[in-house]
Amino acid sequence: MIKLYDRQDSPDQIEFEFHYMPVATALFFFMVIASLAPRGRCSSKILRLSGILLILWVIGLLPAWIELERAMEAGAVIVSGSKLSFSNPLRIVIAKK
C-alpha cells in the first residue's frame, strides 16, 4: 500500500510530511475537466474511477487529519512547504506541550 504521509514523532514535536499531495490535486482537476466533457462510456468510467480514488485518498489521510484538527484547536501547528510541489512537500509540525 502507498504511504500517503510520513509521521515522525520526537519528544518535543510531531511532524507530518505529505509527499503525494500534487497527485491528489491533479486528480481533482482531472475530474473537473472530465465532468465538462460530453457524457459517454469513457468519461463516465473516468469520473467513477477518479471519484473512488479520491474517496480512498481521503480515507487514507483521515487519521492524520483528525490528529491535526485536534492540534489546531490547541494552536500549536506550524505549516511549511507546498501542496503543489514534489520537491518541497507540505510539512506540518505539531509542538508538544
* Joined grid coordinates for residue 55: 474517496
pTM comes to 0.76
Checking if the pLDDT of 92 tops 90, the result is yes
In percent, how much of the chain has pLDDT > 70? 98
What mean pLDDT do residues 26-38 have?
82
Contact 17, 91 (CB under 8 A): yes
Query: 28 or 94: which carries more pLDDT confidence?
Result: 94
What mean pLDDT do residues 78-84 have?
91
Q: Mind listing the pLDDT tens digit for each residue in 35-63?
A: 787 877 777 888 888 888 888 888 988 99
Sorted by where each begins, the domain ranges of the chain are 6-95
* Joined grid coordinates for residue 2: 502507498
Q: Which of 33, 6, 32, 5 is nearest to 21 (CA)?
A: 5
